[in-house]
Amino acid sequence: MRIETQAKVNGIRRGCFIFLVCVLLFAFFGSEAWSSPKVSVHGGGYSKHIIKYYVTNESHDLAAIQLDSYVVGRFNNSYGRETWFSAYEWSKQLGTDVEAYVWAGITRGYSHCINGSDYDGAGSKLCPMIAPGLRYTRWALQPSLILVGYAVALEARYVF
């Protein structure tokens, strides 16, 4: 029991460290975003998997913050493991109230970057992330559909 508790504490410390590194990288490389940032928060992450590889989770508890085009956050991946990510968002308005976007960045929380199950006990790796989505932008609370791996997820962002 004590080993499990210590492993959880180490995981929390590691997660906090990764989060702080991501924030510092954004501060350094995206300093223009800090002058007058457009701040938003993301949440949700209810998904339906197109292809199922030992999926154990379809409610991902997404929590993220976005400053202009820079996004950092965490979610529970499809295998139930906590995953942290850091990404840049490119977006294009498709109509009056619809926006297409792509998050490109890195994640840490998967034991395999492409395909394969997450049940072999391997540790977390840094993996590339490409996640396209569509967002309805009429209100400050903006629902969107995003494709992350083999899962189509419903998430929402609130723009301050």
pTM higher than 0.95 for the full model? Answer: no
Q: What pLDDT shows up at residue 87?
A: 95
* Three-state SS letters, the chain: CHHHHHHHHHHHHHHHHHHHHHHHHHHHHCHHHHCCCCEEEEEEEEEEECCCCCCCCCEEEEEEEEECCEEEEEEECCCCCEEEEEEEEEEEECCCCEEEEEEEEEEEEECCCCCCCCCCCCCCEEEEEEEEEEEECCCCEEEEEEEECCEEEEEEEEEC
pLDDT bracket for residue 70 (50, 70, 90): very high
Q: What pLDDT shows up at residue 47?
A: 87
Least confident of 62-76, 96-110, 113-127, 142-156: 113-127
Q: What pLDDT shows up at residue 159?
A: 92
For the chain, the domain total comes to 1
Q: What pLDDT shows up at residue 101?
A: 96
| 142: CATH | 2.40.160
pLDDT bracket for residue 95 (50, 70, 90): confident
Domain residues for the domain of 138 are 2-159
pLDDT digits (tens, 9 = 90+) for 100-135: 999 999 999 887 777 655 555 567 788 899 999 999
Q: Is the pLDDT of residue 31 over 70?
A: no
